[in-house]
Structure 1
Amino acid sequence: MNRSNPPSADRSKSHGSDFLQLRIEEAPAGGRSEWLARQLRQAIADRRLPVGSRLPAGRVLAAELRVSRGVVTDAYQRLIEDGHAAGRGRNGTVVVAAPLPPAAPPGSSPSGPVAAPTSAALFGSPPGDDVFDAVRAVPARIDLWPGAPDLAAFPRSAWLRAERAVLADLPAAGLGYGDPRGTPELRGALAEWLARNRAIRVDPAEVLVVAGTAQTFGLLGRVLRDDGIAAVAVEDPGALGARQHLRHQGLATPPVPVDDQGVRVDALADTGAPAVLLTPAHQFPTGVVLSGARRRELMAWATGSGGLIIEDDYDAEHRYDRPPVPALRSILPEHVCHAGSVSKLLAPALRIGWVVAPPRHREALIAAKRFADLGNAALPQQVLARLMRSGALERQLRLLRTRHRRRRDAMVRAIADHLPGAVVHGAAAGLHLTITFDAAFADTDLAAAALVCGVRVQPLSWHRQRPGPPGLVLGYAASTPTDITEGLAVLGRALRRLS
């Protein structure tokens, strides 16, 4: 062995990391931290490091590059100050936004407000899936983002008891591949649930279990496109996420205006679309309930034209100050594809939903589900079925209604105190309120200004295809009354600065 040229000397010529194939010899002398920060910014910009991804632990990357830990720590801190990353304690450093052109000035630490240019850039972008994810990833002290129930109220003890009971009773065959439509136990429980709570009489064989309403839109979009349908009309304003799923399947989404009685059926007919996606029980985002007159008009449109109504039964269970309304599927089964989930009742993480399709599309939907994933995981289905049949789910719903009502009331009071010019919509039900303003400003600017101050909200304009008054969509179910009040106070100050 040549003692004058040991292996360590050979390795010193090129120290690198498998992470992004970084090679420290490319860094200029005395500028290693800036070089590393630049490499990371570029990886974030070209999405090799997407929003939400975690950077390696500083000590690990430093060891791989054979530099001091301070070099890596300083590079990470530069990303944090630019608003591109955030420190999450034991969870490490996480990418939260793509770099802005040109470089953004430093903001504050990840535990406080985010950098203003980053927030403005996020809300100024076209509202696509990546923008949703990027805004959700930005640290926020108070989160008033709509769409989530009180996740802290998830019935963990009841779920664990049901899970133990299921595992005790489940035969070995129950752990194998099952029916792609879903387990017989859950389809039966869902049929009973829909009859009790939504006035829908359906045979369990007609129920298809899916991975949330999002999968319903994806599967149904594929089926409709294969059936020669090129467009599904949507409410305007209407849920941006649903519209994105349909467009991802190659379907056009002509807008249909919504007024204080619900969707305008005359305008629907004018679009010429053979199908329409509606949220009739609690319209998103306005909160309007489809009136009896509009239901009759909708029935006439569907029966006269052979049209298909996709009923997203969003928020139907969460009502406070109004009587229940039956699902459209209960009165027009041949023309309504009914979709629901437990995402707003238990937790989105379960990824359990259902769809009841009219006969003409049922078999094609089942086939699409089979080839998508062979069916949902069986064990969570069995647990949910037991909760439904034991009455535990109704008890959970009663608990949530009480808790959500208190939080709704706190938000209404806070809006009156801090945003006296705002008009409140949809307070009688749901997990969110929509507010509109009779003023000339961009609601994306208000949402960005709120995020700078640590409050996350959603601009109403994201859910419009046509111009309309500025507004915000504010979720209240997942926040305490104290946080709601403080968040609205922040919004009030932000609005005064914009005026």
Structure 2
Amino acid sequence: MPENWTSSRLGGHVDLHLDLGAEGGRRSRLEAALREAIRSGRLSTGTPLPSTRGLARELGLSRGTVTAAYDQLAEQGYVTTRPGAATRVADVPPHLSAQTPPAVTSPRTPSPAHDLRPGRPDLGAFPTRAWLAATRRVLDRARPEAFGAGDPQGQVELRIALADYLGRTRGVLTTPDRIVVTSGYYQAVRLLCGVLSAQGRAAAAVEDPGHNFYRETVRRAGLTTYPLPVDAYGADVTALAGPAHTVFLTPSHHYPTGVPLHPSRRQAVSAWARATGGLIVEDDYDGEFRYDRHPVGALQSLAPDNVVYCGTTSKTLGPGLRLAWSVLPPDLVAPVVRAKEEADQYSETLGQLILADVIATHAYDRHIRAARLRYRRRRELLIERVSTFPGLTTHGVPAGLHTLVTLPPDGPTEAALLTTCATRGLALRGLTELHHTPTADRPGGLLIGFAAPPERGYPAALDALSGVLAESFTGPGTPGRRVPRP
């Protein structure tokens, strides 16, 4: 009799590995092996065991031996039996376990009751039907090669679809051979910065304030960062007269202030890049989401040989897809593709083919248009609530997935408000940590996202936020203004 047995017929669906050992009688060895599998957790509660006839045939035992082992395990509480039904693993109480496994704590922070963090879309609005239809079409026509190793540059079907979509909707000047698909925007930044560092471009200008995680990603790649002040017209590109050969910008909708880069500054930074051979890295942050007019076109069209244009599905569909893209100047394509291949060979291929179909059939366009209407409505409700509290100032144009609210100097501090929000189950971000060099004299502010809560949960999130603001600015029990409901 074999010591180890694997059956593909356990319960008709699953495999099972048993170590039967070499000592003792046949029944006792089978009984001990099954008991060990249950006690160790390899067989979970409710798992069906093979029929006595089937297990006996697999192991070369008599059916009576297997039946006796099952009966013994049932008496001990390890399995349950019922006439006409499969024998199943019982819900074993702790005292029967060989050892109680330690409690496993998730490294993730528990989900807040109300998620008002910036840059997060409404995941409940994911276009499931369109994605499912595209998946069926892709699988119906997919060649076997679609399930093999992918192209480090990205599936050609997606690059073709992106070249058409980005040119049509964002004004990007590109061809499929200049696009590289990555596993998210962060990877795109890491790969690019690694290439720039290897080429000796050791300094980069970054917006101040700006996204702190992106800034740290640039630094970890070996580049020194220099702050580029941001005002009501966007990044002050006149400050580029320094050692930086590269500048990182969010020209369509600056993070976090929400202002677009002024046309004169777009022209100025493009001229700087062409004249000096400098490089502009354009993060098209919230580029699709402008609510008062057509979205501003991409900066890339003004200097396509000096701009790296970066986009992603993180805010249009969801970050779980892990799909982003970079449109590169010709001389950067090959080194970035090599860096991608060295990092993880290639991005997941099936999702790329599905996204290509979703874009090509214009389901992506329809989803974006519906999202604009939904997010515009939510932003208006948020502005209406915040405007009832004197001293709070909202910033930015009607765009994006968040609004920056700065605080009055004589009111509650940013830290105090964030603490109160956290105790009430509200998650949002503060402004201070986004500065290149956070100092006490910087103005405090809150970045309030309005996209993440589910549609039915958004009114409750606004109520919770209004409650915190009312208590913080009028004091508990103070007869304050009536807060309008959406």
Q: 1:288 aligns with which of 236, 254, 259?
A: 259
Instruction: Measure, in 2, the Cα distance between the counterparts of 1:498 and 1:359.
Output: 59
Query: 2: CA distance between counterparts of 1:256 and 1:175?
Result: 45
Equivalent residue runs for 1:77-476 within 5 Å: 94-95=105-106, 137-270=109-242, 272-417=243-388, 419-439=389-409, 442-466=413-437, 467=439, 468-476=442-450
Q: In 1, Cα distance between the equivalents of 2:92 and 2:392?
A: 50
Distance 1:370 1:59 in 2: 48
Normalized against structure 1, the TM-score is what? 0.72
Q: Paired residue for 1:27?
A: none
CA deviation string 1:128-148 (max 9, x = no partner): xxxxxx6xx144211101111
- How far is 1:61 from its partner? 7.7
CA distance in 1 between partners of 2:424 and 2:260 (Å): 34
1:54-93 alignment runs, 5 A limit: none
Letter in 1 for 2:409: A
Q: Answer whether contact 1:450 1:490 (CA < 8 A) is retained.
A: no
Equivalence for 1:99: none
One-letter amino acid matched to 2:171: A
Verify the 8 A CA contact 2:407 2:414 in the aligned structure 1: no
Deviations 1:243-271 (A, max 9, x none): 1211221222211110111111122224x
Letter in 2 for 1:317: E
Alignment partners' CA distance in 2, 1:331 and 1:322: 21
1:273 aligned counterpart, secondary structure: coil
Contact in 1 for aligned 2:210/2:434 (Cα 8 Å): yes
Which has more helix, going by share of residues?
Answer: 1
CA contact 1:339–1:353 (8 Å) conserved in 2: yes
- Tell me if the contact between 2:259 and 2:397 (Cα under 8 Å) persists in the aligned partners: no
Determine the C-alpha separation between the residues in 2 that align with 1:227 and 1:491: 50
Asked if 2 retains the 8 angstrom alpha-carbon contact of 1:446 and 1:498, the reply is no
Distance 1:333 1:452, change over 3 A: same
Which string of whole-angstrom CA distances, capped at 9 and with x for unpartnered residues, describes residues 11-50 of structure 1? xxxxxx99xxxxxxxxxxxxxxxxxxxxxxxxxxxxxxxx
State the 1:233 CA deviation.
1.0
- What residue ranges of structure 1 are gaps of 5+ in the alignment? 1-16, 19-57, 77-92, 97-133
**Partner SS for 2:377:** helix
Q: Deviation of residue 487 (structure 1)?
A: 2.9
Q: How many corresponding residue pairs?
A: 383
Alpha-carbon distance in structure 1 between the residues aligned to 2:427 and 2:406: 17
Query: What is the root-mean-square deviation in Å for CA atoms of aligned residues?
Result: 2.5
Identity fraction in percent: 38
1:143-175, Cα deviation, whole Å (9 max, x unpaired) = 101111111000111111110110010011222
1:487 to 2:464 alignment: yes
Partner AA of 1:447 in structure 2: L
Q: Which moved more, 1:441-450 or 1:189-198?
A: 441-450
8 A Cα contact 1:188 1:204, kept in partner: yes
Helix, strand or coil: the match of 2:241? helix
CA distance 1:482–1:302, change in 2 (3 Å): same
Shift in alpha-carbon separation, 1:63–1:225, aligned structure 2, 3 A:
farther
State the 1:177 CA deviation: 1.4
For the 8 Å contact 1:269–1:301, the answer to whether it is kept is: no
Distance across 2 between alignment mates of 1:322 and 1:491: 33
Return the index of the structure with the highest Cα Rg.
Answer: 2
| 8 Å contact kept, 1:446–1:494 | no
Q: Secondary structure at the match of 2:387?
A: helix
Are the counterparts in 2 of residues 436 and 472 from structure 1 also a CA contact under 8 Å?
Answer: yes
Per the alignment, in what secondary structure is the counterpart of residue 319 of structure 1?
coil
Deviation track 1:375-394 (CA, whole Å, cap 9, x = no partner) reads 11111111000010101000
Q: Which residues of structure 2 form unaligned runs of 5+?
A: 1-38, 41-90, 477-486
After alignment, is 364-373 or 245-254 more displaced?
245-254
**CA pair 298-66 structure 1, distance change in 2 beyond 3 A:** closer
In structure 2, distance between residues paired with 1:62 and 1:264? 68
Alpha-carbon distance in structure 2 between the residues aligned to 1:60 and 1:219: 51
- Quick one: which amino acid aligns to residue 448 of structure 2? L
Which whole-Å CA distance do the structure 2 matches of 1:63 and 1:191 have between them?
Answer: 61
> How far did 1:445 drift?
2.8
Distance 2:148 2:311 in 1: 26
Residues in 2 aligned to 1:156 and 1:61: alpha-carbon distance in whole angstroms: 41
Q: Distance in 1 between matches of 2:238 and 2:145?
A: 53
Retained in 2: the 8 A contact 1:319–1:401?
A: yes
Which moves more between the two structures, 301-310 or 338-347? Answer: 301-310
Return the alpha-carbon distance in structure 2 between the equivalents of residues 94 and 421 of structure 1.
42
| Residues 440-492 of structure 1 deviation map (CA, whole Å, 9 limit, x = unaligned) | 55413321221011111100111112442100111101124403321321330
1:103 aligned residue = none
Q: CA deviation at 1:421?
A: 1.5
Separation of aligned partners in 2, 1:317 and 1:198:
8
- Which residue identity lines up with residue 94 of structure 1 in the other structure? T
| Paired residue secondary structure (1:187) | helix
What is the distance in 2 between the residues matched to 1:188 and 1:290? 29
Taking structure 2 as the reference length, the TM-score comes to 0.74
